[in-house]
Amino acid sequence: MKGYAFLEKGKIGFVEKPIPTCGKKDAIVKLTAIAACSSDVHSVQMGIAPPNLIMGHEGIGIVTEVGEDVRRIKPGDKVIIPAVTPDWSEKEIQYNMHQHSGGQLKGINLSSYEDGLYAEYARIRYADMNLALLPEGMDLKSAVMVTDMMTTGFHGAELADIEFGDTVVVIGIGPVGLMAIAGSKLRGAGKIFGVGTRPKAVELAKEYGATKIISYKEGDIVEQVMEITDGNGVDRVIIAGGGIDVVNQAVMMVRPGGTVANINMYESMEDIPISCPAWGFGMAHKTIKGGLTPGGRVRMEAMIQLVMAGRVDPSKLVTHEFKGIDKIADAYNLMVEKPKDLIKPIVWLE
């Protein structure tokens, strides 16, 4: 089969590989749609994936084969594949940290340790625990978007400890930040300030619930937030984009007792600086959190419920569509080039 794989630092391309074999607890899924993700771009540019590893971890498909221990999923099932597909037999499961099952970040297996979804077929481990059934009538673009963008953005809102009426800043309004805005609204935020500039993103930020847009181009964002809030700062900050300095900006603009929730992956080996006075010299109860989205079946079902109930429409994130496996390269390149009107590209594989 064909796959689009990491070749060497900075290089990605098509490879030919056998269709994966199915282990006892696995399912083989024929992919029907995938989305390109900027985290693949980072992996490729940093050269951190194993050579020849097929990239991609956002997709849906049809099950073609299941292992002998699989009880719930069966061939022919249309399924949604979460970006995070943990090993459900490790001790971290028992303290509710499946994202790190088997070790830090080990829950995100596809495109990190095993062949991912930029391919005709993929093997999904722990099929019963990881695959969610695609409900009849669900919009397929939304189905692809829940696997990573929506669940990640919504995890930002969860981490942020939002209470009814809170003022929330979402830094970065790419696809994850847009979903963090939608998620904040659905956790009860009052005012939501989106930080970003691209017109398409700004438009969607407002549709998803932002009450105000703050632009880097109009001055320091911390100063802007402090001015708008009469010097009080905001209750919660979700970081969904930016370099390592953004953490400090978040700490500066959050009030004592507030929360900074990070869902942004920093590709850096350096130190993240936290201003000692802004952090109240250690005494301000400004909590700093950050983590990988939950995955697995039940998480996907929760996201699906929200979409099916009409609480959020993640399909609006899809600004570009392609057809055919060869077009994965085009979709990927869009994520590299990030044209102004891009939020998220999807590739239909059948």
Site for a copy of itself in 158-177 (CB under 8 A): 158, 163-167
Out of 211, 222, 226, 327, name the contact with a copy of itself by CB under 8 A: 211
Minimum CB distance to a copy of itself, residue 263 (Å): 8
Q: Which stretch binds a copy of itself (CB under 8 A): 109-117, 221-229, 292-300, 331-339?
A: 292-300
Q: Which part of the chain contacts a copy of itself (CB under 8 A), choosing from 4-12, 59-67, 193-201, 290-298?
A: 290-298
Of 32, 43, 85, 99, which one interacts with a copy of itself (CB under 8 A)?
Answer: 99
Residue 333 near residue 320, CB atoms below 8 Å: no
147 is a contact residue toward a copy of itself (CB under 8 A): no
Closest distance to a copy of itself from the beta carbon of 222 (Å) = 14
336 binds a copy of itself (CB under 8 A): no
The residues near 260 (Cβ < 8 Å, ≥ 6 apart) are: 236, 237, 239, 247, 250, 251, 254, 286, 287, 288, 289
Tokens, residue 29: 């899924």
Q: How far apart are CA 6 and CA 117, in angstroms?
A: 12
Cβ atoms of residues 287 and 177 within 8 Å: no
* Residue 144 near residue 35, CB atoms below 8 Å: yes
Beta carbon nearer to a copy of itself, 69 or 227:
69
Binding mask 8-47 for a copy of itself (x = CB under 8 A): ----------------x-----------------------
- Burial call 81-118: b when 16+ CB within 10 Å, e when fewer: bbbbbbbbebebbeeebbbbbbeebbbbbbbbebbbbb
Q: Among residues 56 and 183, whose Cβ is nearest to a copy of itself?
A: 183
Provide the minimum distance between the beta carbon of 45 and a copy of itself in the complex, in angstroms, as a whole number.
14
Among 123, 185, 316, 344, binds a copy of itself (CB under 8 A): 185
Crossing angle of helices 175-185 and 151-159, in 10° steps, is 50
Residues numbered 238 to 257 that lie near a copy of itself (CB under 8 A) are 239, 244, 247-248, 256-257
The nearer residue to a copy of itself, 263 or 347, going by C-beta atoms, is 263
Query: Do residues 131 and 209 make contact, with C-beta atoms less than 8 angstroms apart?
Result: no
298-327 residues near a copy of itself, rule: CB under 8 A: 298-299, 301-306, 308-311
Please, are residues 293 and 155 in contact by the beta-carbon 8 Å criterion?
yes
| Residue 268 interacts with a copy of itself (CB under 8 A): yes or no | yes
Q: Report yes or no: 317 and 145 within 8 Å, Cβ to Cβ.
A: yes
Single-letter code of the amino acid located at 193: F
Q: Is 129 in the site for a copy of itself (CB under 8 A)?
A: yes
Q: Does 266 bind a copy of itself (CB under 8 A)?
A: yes
Question: How near is the Cβ of 315 to a copy of itself at its closest, in Å?
Answer: 17
Please state, in angstroms and rounded to a whole number, the distance separating the CA atoms of residues 252 and 88: 39
The answer to whether residue 271 forms part of the interface with a copy of itself (CB under 8 A) is yes
Site size with a copy of itself, rule: CB under 8 A: 87
DSSP 148: I
Query: If you search the block for the tokens 């003022």, which residue do you land on?
Result: 167
